[in-house]
Chain A
Amino acid sequence: GQQLNQSPQSMFIQEGEDVSMNCTSSSIFNTWLWYKQDPGEGPVLLIALYKAGELTSNGRLTAQFGITRKDSFLNISASIPSDVGIYFCAGNSNSGYALNFGKGTSLLVTP
């Protein structure tokens, strides 16, 4: 599959701060998905993006499909303790059907 570079690997922030994480690929993607995984649970779909330049919000979360089609970012505004978890980006390239995952961003939020 395609290599996805997700950064940062981990973040340790205070409640109320904004968070930003991103993913880049070496090839053009037609889909970007963002998932959150809590301990002992499966990944939960947060936002799905299908068009270059698309900006989509889900509550305090905002994600964008980069115009180069090789990157995406996820922002979380005014973080709260329940935002703690691992966030994965995932996407499909034009060259195949495989869903490629980033290595994840581990988010810790202190009250």
Chain B
Amino acid sequence: QQQVKQSPQSLIVQKGGIPIINCAYENTAFDYFPWYQQFPGKGPALLIAIRPDVSEKKEGRFTISFNKSAKQFSLHIMDSQPGDSATYFCAASITSGSRLTFGEGTQLTVNP
């Protein structure tokens, strides 16, 4: 019940495309959903996060869509660039506990 399932495992898009990465969770107690970006040899960097009281949040070219009834959330990257090529992780936590449960990661490649 603590799992977060992420798909796809890998994704290749052309520059300017809109990659979409999906995550699903089971534990309805989760109330905080961040996305992280990780480049090879680096630590994960917090991109954007959402709470379940909103259905969408946008920051720059990154948008999270959240569907509470389906227990799913997704990351959209608008106007993707080669510099966006990285591994993306979704995560979830219960704020009272605060440990993050991560998805398995999506390796995104944006071709020029």
Do A and B make up one complex? no
